[in-house]
Amino acid sequence: MKIAIIGAGAAGLFAAYYASNHNQVTVFEKNDIAGKKLRLTGNGRLNYSNADLSMSHYEHSYGLVDPDFLQSMFLEDDCKLIDSVIGEDGNMEFTRFFETIGVRTTKIGDCFYPYMERAGEVSDILYEVLLRKGVEFRFGSEIKEIIKNDTERFVINGEIFDKVILTTGGKAAPKTGSDGGGYKLARSFGHSVTYTYPVLVALEILKEIGEKLAGVRIKGTVSGYVDGEKISSSKGEIQFTNNTISGICVFQLSRRLTKPIEEGRSVEVSCDLLDDVKDEELSDYIEKRDKLLGDLPLGEFIKGLVPEKISEYILDVISSGEGFDGADETTKRMLFFKALKNLRFTIMGHAGYENAQCTRGGVVLSEIGENMESKLCPGLFFAGEMVDVDGDCGGYNLQWAFSSGKVAGSSAGENA
């Protein structure tokens, strides 16, 4: 039987591997190389899974769009589908897979990587394995139309296929070929596609503030606020550029904030740069420091706490406030440390799909079975980022791509 796979990304390559047993598999890819986005994953290190694959790390657009549009969707069923696809042994399953094709692996913290941490080399090995399994790649092939004929088979560029697996990706990193084109193909078969948003992306702050803090890297806890209400928090390294705040912890937060940003709502991020000291312990903390450095002016008193650019920025902010000039040193110190615990930034926007790691939204899960086959069009399968599933940083999105690719490829191959 002939199976067509549209897209040679992470999901497409794994779908090809599992569909190719006793079947003729053709992969159509618009780029001139397989796994173009895969090669960039994890800054080229390929963090492919995580020790904790609980459903709390995955989400989809249920409840994030107009209720009338998704009134037929059921959150519990969708979570069951995600859980079923990933399986109980998802991380170890693909660790074993990589080792069977000669890729040694390692675990750093909770994250799984190839031992050499080189995504490009892994992509090349996987491509060679697929060639040896007889998979045909047709590069430079952008598929804009698929037709189902009277015999319930699929026509692509005049060629007949028994099954089709759509793995074109979402909209994130469009330079790698992920431009949302697969959504149009899905809609042509009657599928619903949710609104989409870039996630795991840097957030924009005022340029004049960013220029003062550019290059700073500091650990802390960031919290997101929408219309004054705290939405979520994440801990890790915070990074500043000329006009953005980023870092993995901010990327995690972006999953809750890009939608309200695009809706024009008030969005703020608060940074706690002294998160090992609780609010109620702040006075005691300052008092202990005061015993050592009490005779120093504020500028000297705070040295060594945070990068100098942060200190200078906070001093500028609090010194422009009412009553600072006439305040005593104790009050000035408390103002500084309170700002250190709650350094606020108004979010002006996000860095866009071109700088995002993932897309939120896609083909709705209620229209897809647990074998990743369309409920509307038998023989059509989906996998990867073009489906309405997105995960945290830390290997979750690649795990979904691999797992859904395996399930779609295996199901299409078995049913062919």
Q: Report the SS3 class of residue 10.
A: helix
Same domain, 346 and 362: no
User: Average of pLDDT values for 62-91?
Assistant: 66
Judgement on whether residues 211 and 187 belong to the same structural domain of the protein: no
Contact assessment for residue 146 and residue 154, using Cβ atoms and an 8 Å cutoff: yes
The residues facing 237 across adjacent strands are: 219
Assess whether 318 and 396 both reside in one domain: no
**Angle formed by the axes of helices 308-319 and 329-341, nearest 10°:** 120
Average pLDDT over residues 47-64: 82
Residue 70 has pLDDT above 70, yes or no: no
Bridge partners of residue 138, in order along the sequence: 28
Positive or negative: CA dihedral 179, 182, 188, 194:
negative
Which range has the worst mean pLDDT, 41-45, 46-50, 233-237, 324-328? 324-328
Of 322, 350, 378, the residue at which a domain comes to its end is: 350
Q: What is the per-residue pLDDT for 269?
A: 98
Band of residue 301 on the pLDDT scale cut at 50, 70, 90: confident
Residue 334: its pLDDT value, please? 87
The gap between the terminal CA atoms of the chain, to the nearest Å, is: 6
Domain that holds residue 319: 203-350
pLDDT at position 285: 78
> pLDDT at position 168, please?
97
Q: What per-residue confidence (pLDDT) applies to 64?
A: 45
Residues 46 and 110 in one domain: yes
| CATH number for 391 | 3.50.50.60
Looking at the fold, whether 100 and 57 belong to one and the same domain comes out as yes
Q: Are 190 and 91 in the same domain?
A: yes
Tell me, yes or no, whether 52 and 88 share the same domain.
Answer: yes
Pair (162, 135) in one structural domain = yes
At residue 45, φ and ψ (nearest 5 deg) are: -95, -20
Q: What is the dihedral of CA 65, 69, 74, 78, to 10 degrees?
A: -70
- Using the predicted structure, report yes or no on whether residue 240 has a pLDDT greater than 70: yes
Q: Does residue 221 have a pLDDT over 90?
A: yes
294/246 same-domain check: yes
Q: Looking at this protein, which amino acid is placed at residue 290? A: D
Question: What does the block give as tokens for 10?
Answer: 């992470």
Query: Is residue 46 predicted with pLDDT exceeding 50?
Result: yes
Distance of CA 312 to the CA centre of its chain: 33
| Domain end marker among 315, 350, 385 | 350
> Higher model confidence: residue 343 or residue 324?
343
> Is 90 exceeded by the pLDDT of residue 298?
no
Contact 338, 274 (CB under 8 A): no
The yes-or-no verdict on residue 75 having pLDDT over 60 is no
Q: Is the pLDDT of residue 416 over 60?
A: no
Mean pLDDT over residues 356-365, rounded?
94
Encoded amino acid at 93, one letter: E
Give the highest mean pLDDT range of 282-296, 321-335, 388-402: 388-402
Residue 79's pLDDT band (cuts 50, 70, 90): confident
pLDDT band at residue 415 using 50, 70 and 90 as cut-offs: low
- What six digits make up the tokens of 133? 């399994």
Structure token pair of residue 210: 């960013």
Summary mean pLDDT of the chain: 91
Same-domain check for residues 140 and 264: no
Looking at the fold, whether 69 and 178 belong to one and the same domain comes out as yes
**Pairing relationship of beta strands 229-240 and 217-226 according to DSSP bridges:** antiparallel
Mean pLDDT, to the nearest integer, of 214-219? 96
Nearest of 140, 186, 146, 131 to residue 36 by alpha carbon: 140
Averaged pLDDT, 162-184? 95
Mean pLDDT, range 372-398, rounded to an integer: 96
Span 38-42, mean pLDDT? 90
Q: What's the total number of domains in the chain?
A: 2
For residues 49 and 160, membership in a common domain is answered with: yes
pLDDT digits (tens, 9 = 90+) for 113-133: 999 999 999 999 999 999 999
For residue 152, the model assigns a pLDDT of 87
